[in-house]
């Protein structure tokens, strides 16, 4: 088949723009409304998206004045969405810093079975002291240590998902034999961070294990992605930066001994759509006019690890900001924001407006044709395998993309018109079902 786009719907309560909840059309309580998410999932499925995605973190994000805060636990929510959809993949964020491998492997295996092979895990290491203090720590672990723990965490999870062979269940009623204990492989793992003895208490799943997604773009993050990730969510502001990231990650994946086509790069895009370019700019202006600058400055000072009151709205960022190497939090997002401000000589006020829609992801305002053109350009010029679609307002922004942009992408042969026979999320992303690490491959026929 000709190469086609992979589209993921990144769903965030009332939309990705921080002021989306203030619009007349928005429901300020949508973030805890199951019907809202069912509606969004069905819109994305109508658009034949590969997957939808729920971000998460083990802390209360933002202050309550800024935007809807708190969220339903994503694996619980995705289990409900699995029963309300038929085709679309279901990806949840879960932290390797504040979970244990056994429990998390069991949850994702359960979701994969319930959904018929549609589960995906966005693997994060969780930056921020706020989360650390919720788990008995005084400060967040160092960046390199978080990734070392994540690597061992994933190695253990892979052992657990493989701890049942595919045919371990015999179900022989006549002989009275339900399963074959010889086909169970306890990990018996003893490592730096984890000690896990027994096999998982869930059989091997339709996909073998969930689609592995990663979102860190720091050096540690890219090394981790090259070793493990099958899809990468990334933030890039220019096609030049996106092409450089894409080429670097594909090269690292090959060096790691993997097929570069088995890692899909999906930059985030916040599409603001209008019937004309002027109408799209007007929609964008309405959102920007609803920004509360005090909230934006507070969030920016936290990201840049500055003391409250450091930034001045109509001044540029301070010249003496620390380097990325000195940051233990979200390194790649820190660098992206600082480089954006420096490159375009933005004041803090202008930077807050730019970040209000996508927190550093590319915001694009234009007609459906212009949005489709931008997506096609990045896709065909070595910058992306697809996109993380981040509607500024929900559900209207997702509706507009599916009803107005998707038909153009389909007409250009860039996007499927129906889901077809491929049923699992791995199949949708063009990935093979992984072999069980405990089973020797069959000998070749001669």
In-domain check, residue 104: yes
pLDDT, tens digit, 9 for 90 and up, residues 374-421: 999 999 999 999 999 999 999 999 999 999 999 999 999 999 999 988
pLDDT, tens digit, 9 for 90 and up, residues 200-222: 999 999 999 999 999 877 788 89
Question: Which positions ≥6 away from 250 have C-beta within 8 Å?
Answer: 260, 263, 265
Confidence of residue 120 (pLDDT cuts 50, 70, 90): very high
Average pLDDT of span 262-267: 97
Measured in degrees and rounded to the nearest 5, phi and psi for residue 148 equal -65, -40
Q: Any idea what the CATH number is for the domain that residue 196 is in?
A: 3.20.20.30
In-domain check, residue 82: yes
pLDDT, tens digit, 9 for 90 and up, residues 71-107: 899 999 999 999 999 999 999 999 999 999 999 999 9
CA–CA gap between residue 105 and residue 194 (Å, rounded) = 14
Structure-token match 């990705």, residue found: 16
In this predicted structure, what is the pLDDT of residue 305?
80
Report whether pLDDT(50) > 90.
yes
In-domain check, residue 226: yes
In this predicted structure, what is the pLDDT of residue 11?
96
| H helices present in 327-401, as ranges | 331-343, 348-358, 368-380, 396-400
Average pLDDT of span 334-341: 80
What domain count does the chain have? 1
- Sign of the torsion formed by the C-alpha atoms of 129, 131, 133 and 137: negative
In-domain check, residue 25: yes
Confidence of residue 313 (pLDDT cuts 50, 70, 90): confident
In-domain check, residue 281: no
Average pLDDT of span 337-357: 81
Domain that holds residue 92: 6-271+361-428
In this predicted structure, what is the pLDDT of residue 328?
58
In-domain check, residue 321: no
Report the candidate in 383, 300, 330, 337 with the shortest Cα–Cα distance to residue 215.
Answer: 330
In-domain check, residue 302: no
Measured in degrees and rounded to the nearest 5, phi and psi for residue 59 equal -160, 165
In-domain check, residue 297: no
Cis amide linkage into residue 395, ω under 30° from 0? yes
- What Rg, from alpha-carbon coordinates, does the chain have? 22
């Amino acid at each position: 088949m000709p190469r086609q786009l992979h589209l993921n719907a990144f769903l965030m309560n009332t939309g990705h723009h921080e002021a989306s909840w203030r619009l007349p059309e928005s429901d300020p309580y949508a973030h805890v409304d199951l019907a809202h998410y069912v509606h969004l999932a069905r819109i994305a499925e109508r658009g034949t998206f590969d997957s939808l995605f729920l971000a998460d973190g083990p802390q209360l994000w933002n202050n309550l004045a800024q935007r809807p805060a708190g969220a339903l636990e994503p694996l619980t929510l995705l289990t409900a969405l699995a029963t309300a959809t038929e085709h679309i993949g279901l990806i949840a964020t879960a932290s390797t810093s504040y979970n244990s491998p056994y429990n998390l492997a069991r949850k994702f295996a359960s979701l994969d079975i319930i959904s018929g092979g549609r589960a995906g895990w966005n693997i994060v290491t969780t930056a921020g002291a706020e989360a650390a203090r919720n788990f008995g720590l005084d400060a967040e672990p160092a960046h390199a240590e978080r990734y070392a723990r994540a690597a061992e965490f994933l190695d253990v999870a892979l052992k657990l998902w493989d701890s049942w062979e595919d045919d371990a269940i015999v179900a022989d009623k006549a002989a009275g034999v339900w399963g074959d204990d010889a086909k169970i492989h306890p990990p018996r793992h003893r490592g730096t961070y984890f000690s896990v003895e027994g096999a998982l208490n869930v059989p091997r799943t339709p996909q073998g294990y969930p689609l592995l997604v990663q979102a860190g773009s720091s050096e540690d993050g890219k090394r981790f992605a090259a070793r493990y990730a099958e899809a990468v969510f990334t933030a890039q502001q220019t096609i030049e930066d996106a092409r450089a990231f894409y080429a670097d990650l594909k090269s690292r994946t090959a060096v790691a001994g993997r097929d570069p086509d088995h890692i899909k790069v999906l930059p985030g895009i916040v599409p603001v759509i209008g019937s004309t370019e002027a109408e799209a700019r007007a929609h964008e202006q309405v959102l920007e006019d609803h920004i509360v600058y005090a909230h934006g400055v507070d969030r920016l000072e936290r990201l840049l690890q500055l003391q409250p009151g450091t930034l001045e709205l109509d001044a540029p960022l301070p010249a003496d900001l620390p380097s990325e190497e000195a940051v233990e939090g979200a390194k790649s997002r820190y660098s992206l924001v600082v480089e954006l401000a420096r490159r375009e000589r933005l004041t803090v006020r202008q930077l807050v407006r730019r970040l209000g829609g996508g927190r550093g992801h590319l915001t694009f305002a234009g007609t459906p044709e212009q949005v489709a053109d931008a997506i096609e350009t990045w896709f065909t010029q070595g910058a992306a395998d697809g996109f993380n679609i981040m509607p500024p307002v929900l559900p209207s922004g997702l509706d507009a993309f599916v009803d107005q942009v998707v038909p153009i992408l389909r007409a250009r042969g860039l996007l499927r018109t129906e889901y077809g026979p491929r049923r699992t999320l791995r199949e949708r992303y063009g990935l093979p079902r992984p072999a069980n690490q405990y089973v020797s491959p069959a000998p070749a026929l001669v």
